[in-house]
Amino acid sequence: MKKSRNRPVAIDLFAGAGGLTEGLEQAGIWPAVAVELHPQPSLTHAFNHPNTTLIAGDIRKLSLKLLRQKLVERTGRAEVDLVAGGPPCQGFSTAGKKEAHDPRNSLFFQFVNVVAEFKPRMFLLENVPGFKKMHGGAAFHEASRLFTDLGYQLVDTVVEAFRFGIPQRRQRFVMVGWLPGKAKPFQWPEPTHGAIDADVLPLFPTQLLPLVTVEQAISDLAFVEPGWEARRQGLPVESSFQEDRRAGCDLLFNHLASRHREKAVTMFSHIDEGRTISMVPEEHRSAKRTMARLNRKSISNTVLALPDDLIHYEQHRIPTVREMARFQSFDDDFVFIGKRTSGFMERRFDVPQYTQVGNAVPPLLARALGLALQRSLGGKIEDIRAIKERRARHSWVRGTSGFAGYTLSPEAEGKLALFDVDGKPIPLPTSDTDLAVVDAARQHEWKNQTDTRKRGQWSPGVAKPSARMKARRGIRGRAANGP
Ligand SMILES: C[S@@+](CC[C@H](N)C(=O)[O-])C[C@H]1O[C@@H](n2cnc3c(N)ncnc32)[C@H](O)[C@@H]1O
């Protein structure tokens, strides 16, 4: 993509599969460089965003010099207009362990370091809704102090995704900062869609659009039976949301239905539409405490990194990755690469497709925030995604969205802008064996083993899976088939 005076340039940190990048691009902001730790979301990001250079690795090992070098190579400029990103939230999440000493919390300060180095005209930091209050507000107050010392004016709020046309209950904390004189004061985007509760509706202006329901989000996607995959949407479009997500793309990826054990199916069958696991008689319950069947006439429950809390409104199965992606407002041409899911043990290291979707900022929410940022930055509002190029890449996708997941054909080698934290190009995994060993976090576990693989190696020292890991994969194989 050419640089342009009217096209604000951004850096996306902790970029995941790229929900935030996707929405910013739709608003005309160019995330020219992104940083993400895990190989699988990095692959997804690089595959779907041909205009972004993706640095895959631990941000703590990345020098600011290399970050700037990649920015200059990509844009011809050494400055950015925006630094955006969501440092990992587990340490701050109300759903996770609220440990003040969780080392991941310090990743948050990596974000501050990049802002301090580049002094962008604006920054956008997103996180879990509990961010502001966590640890008695310590992280929030420290962040506010650091950003204020750097000269930024700050605003923060908690945004509701469904108010921006996303068919899902999902709240995010967002903080925006701007440098007075370099960007206009930031104004939050106005909600476009109505309230969740009909009783509350009269409080909102009538021009708000109705909420997008679960049915309006996914009813055009084939009702795949467990174990089956559909490569076309298969059913007629029934809403403008569906039409927008298809946007003329009739090839479908990531739409494979999990095969569940009989016990799980029995458990699902006791839960009526819109109701929870509390309906299941004690003798048919598993250890799970949270599970709900989607209500087709309402918005979806929050899409989480683990897929097994939700059941399809008609079928006795969890939603497919594609259905989850629709609840997150990803377009159908956006392909999630890597393993579809992973077992209990490996979820500590792995970022398979379901997790990539669940971790993402919904693109439509990112777009709404991007449009608001554009009002301050004065950039041209246009969709700058490389849609044609992305779709041409669809022919590189190999495998099924089944357990083994998607890899890329050797044809893709050297064509994704994907680098490690030392700036070296990363070879692509082109087989599922490669995929099974690419997880950077596992390198630590396997550091004493020797690498005997010839290709698809993400970095030196990644070992062939041990017998123990293979055995684990057996466990994972079963778990992948559902709860
Ligand atoms: C909440 S997700 C971000 C989602 C992303 N903004 C999107 O919209 O798709 C946080 C991401 O931070 C990444 N991450 C965690 N530790 C990191 C590190 N040390 N360096 C770089 N990225 C890291 C995680 O792998 C994860 O993908």
pLDDT digits (tens, 9 = 90+) for 395-412: 999 877 656 688 888 899
Nearest 5°: phi and psi at 35? -125, 130
Nearest to 249, CA basis, from 132, 141, 333, 369: 333
Contacts of 297 (CB under 8 A, 6+ apart): 213, 214, 215
Single-letter code of the amino acid located at 101 = H
Report the distance separating Cα 163 and Cα 299, nearest Å: 11
List the one residue out of 342, 364, 344 whose CA is nearest residue 354: 342
Which runs of consecutive H residues, i.e. helices, occur in 164-223? 214-218
Lowest mean pLDDT across 126-130, 242-246, 349-353: 349-353
The whole-chain average pLDDT of the chain stands at 84
Question: pLDDT value at position 123?
Answer: 98
Q: Who's near 197: CB < 8 A, 6+ residues apart? A: none
Residues 6+ apart with CB under 8 A from 84: 10, 11, 12, 13, 20, 24, 31, 123, 124, 125, 126
Least confident of 253-262, 296-305, 378-387, 435-444: 435-444
Q: pLDDT tens digits for 141-200?
A: 888 999 999 999 999 999 999 999 999 999 999 999 999 999 999 999 999 998 655 555
Averaged pLDDT for residues 428-434: 64
Least confident of 153-157, 298-302, 478-482: 478-482
282 Cβ contact partners less than 8 Å away, ≥ 6 residues apart? none
- Which ligand 1 atom minimizes the distance to the CA of 38? 25
Instruction: Tell me how far the alpha carbon of residue 405 lies from the centroid of ligand 1, in angstroms.
Output: 21
Q: Position 456: which residue type?
A: G
Helices (H), 128-189: 138-149
What's the first-to-final CA gap in the chain, in angstroms?
Answer: 44
| Neighbouring residues of 149: CB distance < 8 A, sequence distance ≥ 6 | none
The pLDDT of residue 196 is 55
User: What's the CA angle centered on 292, arms 289 and 293, to 5 degrees?
Assistant: 150
Give the model's confidence band at 466: pLDDT under 50 very low, under 70 low, under 90 confident, else very high.
very low
Q: 130: how many CB neighbours lie within 10 A of its CB? A: 18
Query: In whole angstroms, what is the distance from residue 437 CA to residue 173 CA?
Result: 34
pLDDT score, position 208: 85
Q: Which residue has the higher pLDDT, 212 or 94?
A: 212
The span from the CA of 6 to the CA of 377, in Å, is: 9
Distance 158 CA to ligand 1 centre (A): 20
Report, in this order, helix, strand and coil percent for the chain, each rounded to 5.
35, 15, 50
d(CA 361, CA 364) in angstroms, rounded, equals 8
Confidence of residue 300 (pLDDT cuts 50, 70, 90): very high
Across the range 215-235, mean pLDDT stands at: 94
158 token code pair: 């908690």
The best mutation among 24, 26, 37, 54 to test binding of ligand 1, ranked by most ligand atoms within 8 Å of the C-beta, falls on 37
Long-range contacts of 129-133 (CB under 8 A, 24+ apart): 129/94, 129/158, 129/171, 129/172, 129/173, 130/92, 130/93, 130/94, 130/173, 131/89, 131/92, 131/173, 132/156, 132/158, 132/173
Q: How confident is the model at residue 2 (pLDDT cuts 50, 70, 90)?
A: low
Q: Which residues form the catalytic set?
A: 89
Q: Specify the residue with its C-alpha closest to ligand 1, atom 26.
A: 16
Interval between CA 85 and ligand 1 midpoint (Å): 8
Distance 88 CA to ligand 1 centre (A): 6
- R_g of the chain computed on alpha carbons: 22
Which atom, in ligand 1's list, is nearest to the CA of 17?
9
Above 70 in pLDDT, residue 6?
Answer: yes
Helix (H, G, I), strand (E, B) or coil at 86: coil
Ligand 1 pocket by C-beta < 6 Å: which residues?
14-20, 35-38, 41, 58-60, 86, 88, 107, 351, 359-361
What is the pTM for the complete model shown?
0.88
pLDDT at 435: 55
Q: From the centroid of its chain, how far is CA 175?
A: 19
**Nearest ligand 1 atom to alpha carbon 126:** 6
